């Protein structure tokens, strides 16, 4: 439980350092149009939402949690340093796709591992602790990004380089400290990916959730608007962290 919490804590620090800086980096440094920002964020979030369904199915069918978790955390965190050397927005699109693909893979196996690792009587406490660590990372990340921008002269690439440190730390912690709790696989055959076994109600819920997600306005546009009205980049990052702390993470 502690190891999973630490992995999520450092991963969220890394991810949330990037969130308030990336839209501004895309438009001011790479010269990307605002439509490209929307495309990148839309692809990123929809990828995570779709992949997590299949990752949970694979985890149940194999009975192993840690390999999928490490692959997901590793893919997400080891691609982030590439943002610092990207020179065109399609590169950022590919990097964000890899990041969110990793997020989608790790979520369900991580939750299953937490549930497998503690007694049923304390599962609520275990998930509460994990969520608290996750939220703390979501609040600290933008604050570190704000401090970095103040000292680095609003240089977003410096934020990306620094964000890779907690990201790599989370992968190392997961590799060394996470203990798998193998369970009997539900099916020894190859994983079947689809909605057939999930029921009609779940399929309807997924379709409705997808529809609302497509209509959801990304926070990236709020960040760009804040810049347009003259707010300093470091202040934008600071307010993002403050908002995450008040709202309980993102």
For the chain, give the number of residues. 250
Could you list the beta-strand ranges (E) of 50-143: none
pLDDT for the residue 248: 43
State both tokens at 6. Answer: 């630490």
Q: Taking each helix axis from N to C terminus, what angle separates 66-79 and 89-117, rounded to the nearest 10 degrees?
A: 150
Largest CA distance in the chain: 58
- Candidates 90, 95, 82, 94; CA nearest to 30 is 90
Q: Do 174 and 7 form a contact (C-beta atoms < 8 A)?
A: yes
Q: Do 226 and 236 form a contact (C-beta atoms < 8 A)?
A: yes
Phi, psi dihedral angles at 242 (to 5 degrees): -65, -40
User: What is the chain's pLDDT, residue by residue, as a tens digit (250 residues)?
Assistant: 788 999 999 999 999 999 999 999 999 999 999 999 989 988 888 888 788 878 888 888 888 899 999 999 999 998 889 999 999 999 999 999 999 999 999 998 999 999 988 888 899 999 999 999 999 999 899 999 999 999 998 899 999 999 999 999 999 999 999 888 767 676 545 445 555 666 778 778 877 877 776 666 778 888 999 999 999 999 998 887 665 544 444 4
Whole-number Å distance between alpha carbons of 182 and 112: 11
Radius of gyration for the chain, computed over Cα atoms and rounded to the nearest angstrom? 19
Q: How far is CA 91 from CA 25, 34, 97, 250, in A?
A: 13, 16, 10, 25
Whole-number Å distance between alpha carbons of 72 and 115: 19
pLDDT for the residue 247: 45
């Amino acid at each position: 439980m502690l190891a999973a919490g630490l992995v999520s804590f450092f991963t969220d620090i890394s991810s949330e350092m990037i969130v308030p800086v990336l839209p501004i980096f895309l438009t001011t440094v790479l010269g990307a149009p605002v439509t490209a920002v929307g495309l990148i964020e839309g692809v990123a979030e929809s990828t995570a939402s779709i992949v997590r369904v299949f990752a949970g199915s694979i985890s149940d069918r194999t009975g192993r949690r840690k390999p999928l978790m490490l692959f997901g955390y590793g893919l997400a965190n080891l691609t982030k340093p590439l943002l610092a050397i990207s020179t065109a927005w399609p590169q950022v699109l590919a990097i964000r796709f890899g990041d969110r693909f990793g997020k989608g893979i790790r979520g369900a196996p991580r939750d299953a591992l937490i549930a497998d690792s503690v007694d049923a009587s304390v599962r609520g406490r275990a998930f509460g602790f994990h969520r608290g660590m996750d939220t703390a990372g979501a609040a600290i990340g933008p604050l570190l990004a704000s401090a970095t921008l103040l000292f680095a002269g609003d240089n977003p690439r410096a934020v990306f380089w620094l964000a890779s440190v907690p990201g790599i730390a989370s992968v190392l912690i997961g590799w060394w400290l996470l203990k798998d709790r193998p369970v009997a696989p539900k099916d020894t055959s190859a994983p079947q990916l689809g909605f057939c076994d999930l029921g009609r109600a779940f399929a309807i819920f997924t379709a409705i959730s997808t529809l609302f997600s497509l209509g959801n306005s990304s926070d990236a546009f709020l960040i760009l608007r804040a810049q347009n009205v003259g707010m300093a980049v470091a202040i934008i990052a600071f307010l993002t962290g403050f908002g995450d702390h008040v709202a309980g993470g993102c």
